[in-house]
Amino acid sequence: MNTQIDIQQLKQSPVFQDISEKQLESFLEDAPHSLKSYDKHDFVVMQGERCRSLYILYSGKVQAVMTHPDGKELVVEVLEAPVAMAPILLFGTKDKFPVSIIAMEPVEVLIINKDKFLRWMQEDAQLMQNFLRIISDRSVWLTEKISSFALQSLEMRLAHYLYFHSDSPESQSDIAKRLGVARPSLSRVVSGLVEKGVILIEKRKIVVPDPDKLKTLMHGD
């Protein structure tokens, strides 16, 4: 199977950090791989689906979403190309996606044979190290996320979120999904922060004049 992959593009991904172009190129020539396209709103992967390949987001932007039987949903993270999509599943005991992956815009996904990749990784110390760093950092990030859900109020979580996403143009509905709360609940807390003078609303967009004010709210007043 041969597709025209831009090595330069791929090299930007943390998985291939400090891997030479030559190596990457020769690996791709050797390993079976394919490039799949998806339209906006398509499900790239459904929660619970089996996975026995390495998925790399080659272009575009996707959401990782957890859905619960009763309809509630949580947007766990947003991924932008180029980045590995579920590195955990390569080595874990379970091989089912814990989240659904949904295209937020037209998207291309590079699917690479798992066994070939494993072998390559065992030969290339740098690649292995990249991989270990990625999933280790991910674990730390997940642990902190648990802490925020279990121990922090919505106001703290919103402050935290805005502090790190002050520039992004997300709607309040979207932010609500990322924080796992109902939209009116979020709106209420947003109004609260406006009254406190921490944020302002301009043309329906949340503006943060002074991020330091948010910081004081992030760990409890």
173 is a site residue for DNA (CB under 7 A): yes
CA pair distance 221, 210, nearest whole angstrom:
17
Least distance (Å) from a copy of itself to the CB of residue 27? 19
The residue among 6 and 137 lying less far from a copy of itself, judged by its C-beta, is 137
From candidates 190, 199, 214, 218, binder to DNA by CB under 7 A: 190
Region from 28-36, 38-46, 140-148, 196-204 binding DNA, contact rule CB under 7 A: 196-204
Return d(Cα 47, Cα 85) in angstroms, integer: 13
Other CB atoms within a 10 A radius of the CB of residue 170 amount to: 16
Partner that binds at residue 125, options a copy of itself, DNA, none, CB closer than 5 to 8 Å by kind: a copy of itself
Task: Please pick, from the candidates 66, 166, 172, 213, the single residue that binds DNA as defined by CB under 7 A.
Answer: 172
Q: Cα separations (Å) of 199 from 180, 207, 208? A: 21, 6, 5
Which of 189, 198, 208, 214 lies at the binding interface for DNA (CB under 7 A)? 189
